[in-house]
Amino acid sequence: MARRKFKSALNSRLSGFQKIYLLLIAGFILGPFIPLLIQSFAFRWAWPDLLPGTWWLEQREKSLLPLAWDYVLSPYSRVWEATLNTVFIGLVVTVICLAICLPAARVLAREKFRGKSAFEFFLSMPLIVPEAAIGIALLMIFIRLGLAGSYTGIIIVHLIPTIPYMIRMLTAVYQGLGTDFEEQAMILGASRWQVMRMVTLPMLLPGVVAGALFTFLVSTNIFLLTFFMGQGKIITLPTLLFSKIAGGTLDASAAGITLVVTVPGIILLLITERFIKEEAFGKGFGN
């Protein structure tokens, strides 16, 4: 009797409820993409049909490409422009963020000093101060400085939400690294530069790549700060999509753009899943 009780509590298999729950969540997450995909290939899709009355395939004599995709891939939709902007801003943000966070993460992982926990809390602040507050306040300053509507302005504000994640991920990397190998190399007579180049960097690389990818991801997903600072002059994928759906309706071309905006996320998901240390997210606040 007692033994059976242990077994049920210690079971490492899923219960029936959990099985259904996992399926429901998968449906909740992925399900809405199905009508989106259908919408982008529909020629006419009237209410209350569950599937389009006329697919693009049946109307190929009228247009060679699916109508929505023809528009999405044309310069008129500005999708290419937005994609280039998104990638360019993401890359620059990642490089700057890495450059300023790497030394700080090394110190945070290895040194003890007064005010360290306050410092760490300060670095987490951007995660818990509402974006709208910071965005609007900075917009005022940037308009004065002439940085609003420029790449520089957008890149600078993107640093705010990316720094906390980068710091957390890099600190975790340095903590996992330890100092043993570096000390060994020093004892064997390597110079500081040699230790850096031949020991630290190669061991650090996977973690740094993960941090960089994640930072890139965060930057590409930022809407509010880009929208405020871009002033409509510089568009990225999230702000382009916003302007398409701001009216609260979704036509075929908006469905196509939504799918395009999803693609970078899927690519990054496939790459990063192997690199990202889940432990970096388990860290609490200021403890």
Q: Is 236 exposed, middle or buried (0-12, 13-18, 19+ CB in 10 A)?
A: buried
Enter the tokens of residue 224: 């509010």
Nearer Cβ to other proteins (62/233): 233
Of the candidate residues 62, 136, 152, 187, the single one contacting other proteins (CB under 8 A): 136
> ∠ CA(91), CA(142), CA(246), 5° rounding?
70
Of the candidate residues 1, 4, 10, 232, the single one contacting other proteins (CB under 8 A): 10
Nearer Cβ to other proteins (187/287): 287
**Taking CB under 8 A as the rule, which mask of x and - marks residues 60-79 in contact with other proteins?**
--------------------
Residue 14 lies near other proteins (rule: CB under 8 A) = yes
Contact 247, 137 (CB under 8 A): no
The CA distance from 169 to 56, in Å, is 46
Of the candidate residues 224, 229, 234, 235, the single one contacting other proteins (CB under 8 A): 224
Which range in 22-30, 77-85, 146-154, 204-212 contacts other proteins by CB under 8 A?
22-30
Q: Is 232 exposed, middle or buried (0-12, 13-18, 19+ CB in 10 A)?
A: exposed
Of the candidate residues 150, 175, 231, 262, the single one contacting other proteins (CB under 8 A): 262
User: Cα Rg for the chain, rounded, in angstroms?
Assistant: 24
The CA distance from 47 to 51, in Å, is 9
Contact 261, 238 (CB under 8 A): yes
Looking only at residues 140 through 159 of this chain, which bind other proteins when binding is defined by CB under 8 A? Answer: 140-141, 144, 156-157, 159
Closest CA to 72 of 259, 284, 265, 280: 259
Q: Report in angstroms how near the CB of residue 211 gets to other proteins at its nearest.
A: 13
Looking only at residues 226 through 245 of this chain, which bind other proteins when binding is defined by CB under 8 A? Answer: 227, 237-239, 241-242, 245
Residues that contact other proteins, how many (by CB under 8 A): 103
Contact 200, 208 (CB under 8 A): no
Q: Report in angstroms how near the CB of residue 202 gets to other proteins at its nearest.
A: 21
Looking only at residues 86 through 115 of this chain, which bind other proteins when binding is defined by CB under 8 A? Answer: 99-101, 103-104, 106-108, 111, 113
Contact 214, 269 (CB under 8 A): no
The CA distance from 188 to 52, in Å, is 72
Nearer Cβ to other proteins (56/216): 216
**Taking CB under 8 A as the rule, which mask of x and - marks residues 242-261 in contact with other proteins?**
x--xx-xxx---xx--x--x
Which amino acid does the sequence have at 134?
I
Looking only at residues 166 through 185 of this chain, which bind other proteins when binding is defined by CB under 8 A? Answer: 167
Looking only at residues 36 through 65 of this chain, which bind other proteins when binding is defined by CB under 8 A? Answer: 36, 39, 47-50
Residue 19 lies near other proteins (rule: CB under 8 A) = yes
